[in-house]
């Protein structure tokens, strides 16, 4: 079966298989991506991040439903970089338990870390591209937490929504400082909780300090109560406004060029690394080198230098 | 000044500069590491991870003090992968504010993410090696959270302590599943809080389910109240017991060989990636390739393939 062709023909099964191929680095993954690539670049890609417990999943579901009401098809990639051993199953299960899954116009996929983190943001970006080629109008990238891994992951998005929640402790406040710079739109979810106004004021202050006053787009802050569907329509319209603004100012092109550049560099680094690793491990001399380094007869940097000299033109 | 030589001569200033060189990828970083590498491998490297708010910093400080009481010198690398923009300053400041800093036998360094996450675990491992070559007897790697990045980071440790705390929500419980496999010793900190016994029972069950019954070492669970210095000595002795067990069973050698192997592969991947990136960006043709990919006239995978073919023997 030609998976890429089936994806383009609208097969949900093929869509699922293509993502699995990418996730598990199957032999045909690169071939699938090559064939799908020309059909990408049409979807609105929306990143959603924020601390655990902020209600990101619920908010994603409500936004997805509202996009569906407006006739758009939706893809959701739910990424859990904190789940190295479960493959993201926890997060996936939580999401699967709702009415969205009964809607043919919605495709949900969870991804966890297998092996190294570095690969996860690349694989997420590829899953998004597969959904994009499939024809999804809006694609969500939802992350579980708010660390550097999440920052890397949502960098594949056009518009990034940062979801915060009143009443989290100091640790979370410290983390927030790191995500201010990536938020295009902020939502204060569970806005009926005590502390919502205080958070709103603090966040506004931080955004002003952040030098946003001179930018074309000053990230708006929206209040939502996702589980009661409150504020969701307003939030969705703000997200679309941001996307429109990206398009009209030419920033969408700039952002996407930057992204293409980074993706190319990441793929290059990964492929060349794998290629060279393959060569030296199959040559059998690698174990000897490890022993030398371990016995302190050689150091890793000199060993690596020699390998590079040997292999490159 | 020959930084590596000064490190070996016991200069704290040089120690600090060497770590900065590694962190910021200065030109002399590789040279420093080459010279220090033969002097590494003597320290007991202790990884400490767990959810935010578990009291890892306080526990690290108390353990460090107790090691000092026993005549050991101590290094602490405090790593904050959730702090992409602050360079880990928040965490560093919190740690710096205590009596440990007045002790010449203790060296504390905080590290944050600059640029990509992938680099952070490598840089942390290098900071540990620098402290090791300097002559520190015990080196702590303390992480701020509990995601995949932290798992990667503590993989440089001989013995890994996972710190948990009663009364965290469901999100945290989900995360815990991912760190069970990396814990050699568990501490339930703030053990005077409600829920400590319940957590103890749950954790024991999870460890049994995890198939630990057939292993040589079943991870023990210790209760501590770090800020009151309760349970710290017992915990320290358990950590040393684990280390002794690693040595006596030959597992220390196995673990370190595995680690050397991974380090070598990581350095190789990084160096060869940087080398090739340098070549293609300086050749000036890279911008054209980005444009081709962006215009969907070519796909990233074919572009990368061609580059690899061009550059490798």
Q: For A261-303, how does the pLDDT look when each residue is reduced to its tens digit (9 = 90+)?
A: 888 888 887 788 788 878 888 888 888 899 999 889 899 989 9
B268–A272 C-beta distance less than 8 A: no
pLDDT, residue B5, reads 97
Neighbour count for residue B232 (Cβ, 10 Å): 21
Q: What is the mean pLDDT of residues A212-219?
A: 75
The pLDDT tens digits of the residues spanning A18-77 come to: 999 998 888 899 999 999 999 999 999 999 988 777 888 899 999 999 999 999 999 999
Helix B251-283 vs helix A300-311: crossing angle, to nearest 10? 50
State how far residue A246 is from chain B, nearest Cα, in angstroms.
17
Question: For chain B, which domains are there?
Answer: 1-37 (no CATH), 40-249 (3.40.50.300), 264-311 (no CATH)
pLDDT at A161: 95
Residue B98: CB atoms within 10 Å: 14
Tell me which chain B residue has its CA closest to the CA of residue A38.
Answer: B296
- Establish, for the pair of chains A and B, how many residue pairs have beta carbons separated by less than 8 Å: 215
With a cut of 90, say whether residue A239 has pLDDT above it: yes
Contact flag A82-B152 (C-beta cutoff 8 Å): no
| pLDDT tens by residue, B83-100 | 543 333 444 444 455 667
Q: What is the mean pLDDT of residues B105-128?
A: 79
What pTM was estimated for this model as a whole? 0.73
Q: Rounded mean pLDDT of chain A?
A: 84
Identify which of B169, B264, B296 has the shortest CB distance to residue A300. B264
**B58-82 pLDDT, tens per residue?**
999 999 999 999 999 999 998 876 5
Question: In this structure, what token pair is assigned to residue A236?
Answer: 């969705």
Q: Which residues of A touch B151 (CB under 8 A)?
A: 84
Output B279 or B236, whichever has higher pLDDT. Answer: B236
Contact A117 B120 (CB under 8 A): no
Interface test with B, best of A262, A269, A292 (most B CBs within 10 A): A269
The torsion angle over the Cα atoms of residues A54, A59, A61 and A62, rounded to 10 degrees, is 150
Residue contact A264–B289, C-beta within 8 A: yes
**A313, two tokens:** 């033109």
Say if the Cβ atoms of A304 and B268 lie within 8 Å: yes
According to DSSP, the β-strands at B44-49 and B159-164 are parallel
Residue of B nearest to A91 (CA): B174
Q: How far is CA A303 from CA A193, B17, B26, B30, B203, in A?
A: 58, 25, 20, 12, 43
Q: Average pLDDT of A245-260?
A: 92
Closest partner residue to A82 (CB to CB) among B118, B148, B294 is B148
How many angstroms away from the CA of A69 is the closest CA of chain B?
31
Q: How far does chain B reach from its first CA to its final CA, in angstroms? A: 39
Say what the pLDDT of residue B110 is.
84
ipTM of the complex: 0.78
Q: Looking at residues B151-157, what average pLDDT do you find?
A: 83
């Amino acid at each position: 079966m030609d998976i890429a062709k089936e994806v383009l023909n609208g097969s949900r099964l093929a869509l699922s298989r293509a993502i699995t191929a990418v996730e598990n680095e199957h032999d045909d993954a690169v071939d699938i991506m090559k064939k799908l690539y020309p059909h990408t670049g049409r979807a609105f890609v929306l990143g959603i991040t924020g601390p655990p417990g902020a209600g990101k999943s619920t908010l994603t579901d409500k936004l997805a439903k509202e996009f569906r009401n407006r006739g758009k098809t939706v893809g959701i990639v739910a990424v859990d970089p904190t789940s190295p051993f479960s493959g993201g199953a926890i997060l996936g299960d939580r999401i699967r338990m709702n009415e969205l899954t009964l809607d043919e116009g919605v495709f949900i996929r969870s991804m966890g870390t297998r092996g190294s983190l570095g690969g996860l943001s690349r694989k997420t970006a590829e899953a998004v591209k597969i959904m994009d080629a499939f024809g999804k109008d809006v694609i969500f990238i939802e992350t579980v937490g708010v660390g550097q891994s999440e920052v890397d992951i949502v960098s594949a998005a056009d518009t990034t929504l940062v979801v915060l929640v009143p009443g989290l402790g100091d640790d979370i406040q410290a983390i927030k400082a790191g995500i201010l710079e990536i938020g295009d739109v902020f939502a204060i979810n569970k806005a009926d909780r005590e502390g919502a106004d205080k958070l709103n004021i603090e966040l506004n202050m931080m955004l002003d300090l952040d030098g946003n006053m001179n930018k074309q787009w000053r990230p708006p802050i929206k209040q939502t109560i996702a589980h009661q569907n409150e504020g969701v329509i307003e939030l969705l319209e703000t997200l679309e406004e941001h996307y429109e603004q990206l398009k009209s100012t030419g920033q969408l092109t700039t952002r996407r060029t930057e992204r293409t550049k980074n993706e190319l560099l990441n793929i290059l680094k990964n492929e060349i690394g794998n290629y060279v690793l393959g060569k030296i491990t199959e040559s059998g001399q690698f174990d000897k080198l490890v022993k030398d380094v371990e016995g302190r007869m050689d150091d890793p940097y000199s060993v690596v230098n020699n390998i590079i000299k040997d292999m490159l033109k």
